[in-house]
Structure 1
Amino acid sequence: MDRREIAALLAYIGRLDSRTIRTDQGEARDQLAQWHELIGDVPMITPHGWDARVAARQHIRTSPYQIMPADIVRPWESYRHDRLARHTDPTPCADPDDQAAWTAELVGTRRAVAAGIAQPAQARAITSGRNGVDPRLKARLREIGSCIPPAAREALAPYRPARAAREVTIAQGLPDALSVRCEWCKAQPGEPCRRRRIGPDANVRITTPRATPHPGRLDLATAQQPDHTQGSARA
């Protein structure tokens, strides 16, 4: 606030609490200089929710003590901290290789948010459930078939053989063994079958994922798709 804004704020406060009124010209000048020194960096009003008059009126309503500059500064600092706590730095538009420009844009965005000039940029929450996915994303996934590019899928295939085998099976129109629970190793739907190693004491020592499902699991998946089986037999 500049001196004119602080003078207007003091006049507003004086209408609500006469104890702050200074009738002597010298005292009024000293009061204005004191308040300007202490709250000169606090804005009178911002586009997003801050108003020094609201903070002053709230203090006068709830406190029996005469208002002081600190009673304006404290709500302002709380306002700043709350906005920064809700802010997630968006990716700057500057060139990442230009460290100075990248940092300057980040700092500028944070200062604008803290000063109430810009709204906090919040990270989008992860949604789940039947209605949680954006319809545009659903349409895009139907168009491309998967969120993983084909080249990346091929590159990952050696590192996740069970998933790769399942994708090949589904692409060929065969029953998906991982869609059912395995009665042999108790793997849940979506999980690969596991190979158990039995120790000399007949207890399971270790289990490792199998690249292919157990035959009984595949038979169970086939049995749950009679239409597919009959279609294959006719073919």
Structure 2
Amino acid sequence: MDRREIAALLAYIGRLDPRTIRTDQGEARDQLAQWHELLADVPMATQHGWDARVAARQHIRLSPYQVLPADIARPWESYRRDRLGRHTDPTPSADPDDQAAWTAELVGTRRAVATGAAQPVQYRQLAGRRIDPRLEARLKQVGSCIPPEARAALAPFRRARAAREAAIAQGQPDALSVRCEWCEAPIGEPCRRQRVAPDGFARGNAVRDKPHHCRQDLAAAQHAQEPSQPAMA
């Protein structure tokens, strides 16, 4: 705030709390100089929720003590920390090889967020949002967001998923779309190999590459009934 804004703030505070009014010209000048020295970097108001008059009114309403510059600066620092805590730096548009321009854009964005000139930039939600039409068309074209080369390289490390994808690609029903009645694997989870010890308790819980036959039969039965459901309706 400049000196004129500080004077306007003191006049506003004086209307709410006459104890802060200085009738002597010298005392009023010293008060104005003191407040300007301590609040020069605090804005009077921003476009996104900060107003020094609101902070002063809140203090006068809740505290029996006179308003001090710290009672304005403290809420301002909390406002800055909250905004910077919710901000995630977006990728600068500057050339990454130009370190000075890249850093300057990052610093400028953070300063704009901290001073209330811009809203914090947060990560987009992973769910509940509409997919970009261009990305949706691309996914329909390639069939998956994972490139075929990466999928083939990962196949030895996730054999159950690779077997499932191969079965679906061949037109077979998705066995993992139903619950396994043998190992009680839930929908979407692969079957597990359970060995029964002589004492009757299960030993081992390793993941099977292929689902149990009863699960495949159940998925095939449900898959065969799907085309007939609209006709029955």
Shorter-chain TM range is 0.7 to 0.9
Matches of 1:158 and 1:207, distance apart in 2: 19
> C-alpha separation between the residues in 2 aligned to 1:197 and 1:94?
60
What do residues 50-100 of structure 1 show as CA deviations (whole Å, max 9, x unaligned)? 121222233334433322212211221222222223223333344556666
Q: Distance in 1 between matches of 2:226 and 2:50?
A: 65
**Residues 160-182 of structure 1: CA distance to partner in whole angstroms, max 9, x if unpaired?**
12211211211121122222222
Partner in structure 2 of residue 232 of structure 1: none
Unaligned runs of 5+ in 1: 230-235
Q: Percent sequence identity over matched residues?
A: 73
1:122-137 matches, cutoff 5 A: 122-127=122-127, 132-134=128-130, 136=132
Task: Name the residue aligned to 2:178.
Answer: 180
CA distance in structure 1 between the partners assigned to 2:58 and 2:21 by the alignment: 18
SS at match of 1:73: helix
- Aligned-CA RMSD value: 2.9
What residue in structure 1 maps to residue 40 of structure 2?
40
2:188 — aligned with what?
A: 190
The Cα of 1:146 is off from its aligned counterpart by 2.0
The structure-2 alpha-carbon separation of the partners of 1:5 and 1:195, relative to structure 1 and needing over 3 Å to count, comes to: same
Q: How does 1:52-71 map to 2 (within 5 A)?
A: 52-71=52-71
* Greater CA drift, 143-152 or 155-164: 143-152
Structure 1 residues 185 and 44, CA gap change in structure 2 (3 angstroms) = same
Q: Match of 1:110?
A: 110
Alignment of 1:26-175 (within 5 A): 26-94=26-94, 102-127=102-127, 132-134=128-130, 136=132, 139-140=136-137, 141-175=139-173
Corresponding residue number in structure 2 for 1:205? 203
Quick one: distance in 2 between partners of 1:220 and 1:92? Answer: 53
Q: Distance in 1 between matches of 2:42 and 2:223?
A: 70
The change in CA–CA distance for 1:58 and 1:204 in structure 2 (over 3 A counts) is closer
Deviation, 1:116, is 0.9
For residues 72 and 226 of structure 2, the distance between their equivalents in structure 1, rounded to whole angstroms, comes to 74
Q: Which sits farther off after the overlay, 11-20 or 69-78? A: 11-20
Aligned length: 226
Whole-Å separation in 2 of the counterparts to 1:11 and 1:159? 72
In 2: Cα distance, 1:123 partner to 1:36 partner: 38
